[in-house]
Amino acid sequence: MLVLKQNTYFILLIVLIGLLTISLLKKEEISIIQSDGKGYYAYLPALLIHQENDYVQTNIAERKYFGENYNPTYLNKTNDGKVFNQYFSGVAVLQMPFFLTAYFLSYISDSPLDGYSNTFQLFFFLGGIFYTILGLYFFQKSLLIYFSENKKTIQLITFLMYFSSPLLVYSLEMVSYSHIYSFSLFGVFSYLVLSRKSIRFFHTKLGIVLGLIFLLRPTNVLIIFILPFLLQDWNATRHFFQEMIHNKMKRFWLAFIPFLSIISIQFFLWKWQTGKWLINSYKGESFDFIHPHFFDALFSFRIGLFIHTPILILSLFGIIILYKKNRFAAIAWSLYFFINTWVISSWWCWDYESYFGNRPFTEHLFFLLFPIVLLVQKHKKIGFIMLIIFALLGFNRFYQFRERIIPVQRFSSDTYFKSLFHYQNNERFQFTRSCKPIGSLVKTRIIFEQKEKKLITPKDEFGLGAQLAINEKNSAKSYFITIELDKKVSKTPFSNVLLAIDASDKDSDKRFYHTFELYNDQLEAKDDWKHLIFEQKLDDYEKEYNEIKIYIWNKGKKEFEVKNIKYSISSYN
């Protein structure tokens, strides 16, 4: 009874997660491995089931569950034609015990041994839940050590913070992304540092954890910049690093050798796939540290951290309190926040096609939420009231996302406020802007332009088409397609009218086909003109396409007007 009483909120959290897991089991087909997660996961079936390094059989298995037209976007090719997985292998490494369990159960029950059946999907989900609970457990433990606060208070704070942040979405709806795994390892790292004096083989364990953090997301090794904050003063920080280099750097090597051993997993996988120990796996993607989207990353309606995770506003008040108590720790936290924001906002696709806010910050929430405890300690009543409000708002957003009421990708200033308490017309909103490719602009071509009004009737199934022939000698590696038009409708909601982009190679079966619904808001443009912009990035590293077509597909037989139409294609090296 004492154990239950001391862990009330944590147990309640596990029960709520359990109920959502049960709801998942009621579905005929479980779809957990999604988007980037398909690449993170693909190492396991390719290596442990099919024993292949070209992913042929793995892709056949994927198409069985993801559709015959599924195109594995996580695969790239070297200059000599070797296929490789562009993503790092950290999620696969952490999911391996759950994968092997699913394989064993599938084997004894005579279920499909392809890596993608319901059994494998379910155990992937359970693996994500395990790391979620592990991360929250170490979050709670770290807060208890750092602030020496009452355990019940810390448990309630942990409970409310979880529901107030994107952790809820990434641990239940998008568990195949790497963020919840990184959050878990951030927790282990934090606990190791805070409890270092009582932990045997501390440096070795620290090296292993840092290696796994790198294997999940290389830029997350910047976690080392949180050390001064965790150590809390200059003397402790200096002593920590002096210990590392003392006695011929013995402690440094005790950490570095395990770190190197763990990250070497990726080198061996590159060698297995391509014959090379080191490759640039993120082909055509890079950082631009000179021109970061710093403000956009924090404050834009598109993905802004403080807009979509408003609980962090309380962290800013907490840092002010901390500055008055411990200036060194406050500056250290601010420096960690600044460095990681600079790096995150410098990625070429600065919005990361983020679901539910600025997703690369998700694992950093482990430390970004810390200062809120100081606010609660000083202003307990108002602090908990604000936490409850943000928790309700967070759960509201989670519900909207789960029911597909709000956009699955990003917001604009117009759709953000409209969507806050919107519960009807599922998928009413959508976001249709993309990130420009990294590299130098070669040229921009307008392939279609029409200023005059055009009435589209139910009889017009396909129209306003244009195409561009791509010269095989063209040096472009990426194309950026922009479609602009003004639209007016007589009836809303407006849906099932699609903008289609079709890139193909007439000499092979290579094809890129993508459609947009012709709206940002299903209720827009009623009896008035609305200007719309649609964007799509199209990569062509292997010179796979020789023609691009753009057209409107009036699939829903709607009647509407358009004008000021312009299709343009920009090519980038």
Query: Reduced to 3 states, what is the DSSP secondary structure of residue 166?
Result: coil
- 72-81, 195-204, 333-342: the lowest-pLDDT one: 72-81
Report residue 9's pLDDT band, with 50, 70 and 90 as the boundaries: low
Q: Are 518 and 499 in contact (CB under 8 A)?
A: yes
Q: Are 302 and 411 in contact (CB under 8 A)?
A: yes
- Evaluate if residue 80 carries a pLDDT over 80: yes
Beta carbons within 8 Å of 235's beta carbon, 6+ residues apart: none
Residue 25: the pLDDT is 57
* Domains of the chain as residue ranges with CATH: 36-398 (no CATH), 441-572 (2.60.120.1310)
Residue 535: the pLDDT is 94
Beta carbons within 8 Å of 369's beta carbon, 6+ residues apart: 161, 165, 311, 312, 315
Q: What is the pLDDT of residues 424-473, one digit of tens each?
A: 777 888 888 888 888 888 889 999 999 999 999 999 999 899 988 877 55
368 against 70, higher pLDDT: 368
- In the predicted model, what is the mean pLDDT of residues 248-267? 94
Q: Are 393 and 482 in contact (CB under 8 A)?
A: no
Report residue 3's pLDDT band, with 50, 70 and 90 as the boundaries: very low
d(CA 326, CA 342): 25
Beta strands in 205-332 (DSSP E): none
Task: Return the H-helix or E-strand segment holding 511.
Answer: strand 511-517
Q: Are 88 and 215 in contact (CB under 8 A)?
A: yes
Report residue 364's pLDDT band, with 50, 70 and 90 as the boundaries: very high
Report residue 357's pLDDT band, with 50, 70 and 90 as the boundaries: confident
Model pTM greater than 0.85?
A: yes
Q: What is the mean pLDDT of the chain?
A: 89
Q: Is 384 exposed, middle or buried (0-12, 13-18, 19+ CB in 10 A)?
A: middle
- Evaluate if residue 306 carries a pLDDT over 70: yes
Residue 342: the pLDDT is 97
DSSP H helices in 283-379 = 294-299, 305-308, 312-325, 327-345, 365-368, 372-378
Report residue 24's pLDDT band, with 50, 70 and 90 as the boundaries: low
- Evaluate if residue 274 carries a pLDDT over 90: yes
Beta carbons within 8 Å of 88's beta carbon, 6+ residues apart: 40, 215, 216, 217, 218, 266, 281
**Range with top average pLDDT, 207-216, 372-381, 514-523:** 207-216
127 against 509, higher pLDDT: 127
Beta carbons within 8 Å of 424's beta carbon, 6+ residues apart: 405
Residue 572: the pLDDT is 86
User: C-alpha distances in angstroms, 342 versus 64, 186, 302, 488?
Assistant: 41, 19, 17, 41
Residue 558: the pLDDT is 93
- In the predicted model, what is the mean pLDDT of residues 484-503? 93
User: C-alpha distances in angstroms, 35 versus 57, 114, 169, 177?
Assistant: 19, 19, 15, 8
- In the predicted model, what is the mean pLDDT of residues 370-381? 93
- Evaluate if residue 324 carries a pLDDT over 90: yes
Residue 4: the pLDDT is 45
Q: What is the pLDDT of residues 125-178, one digit of tens each?
A: 999 989 998 999 999 999 999 998 778 888 888 889 999 989 988 988 889 999
Residue 470: the pLDDT is 79
Report residue 405's pLDDT band, with 50, 70 and 90 as the boundaries: confident
Tokens coding 92: 């696969």
Residue 2: the pLDDT is 43
Report residue 26's pLDDT band, with 50, 70 and 90 as the boundaries: low
Beta strands in 235-323 (DSSP E): none
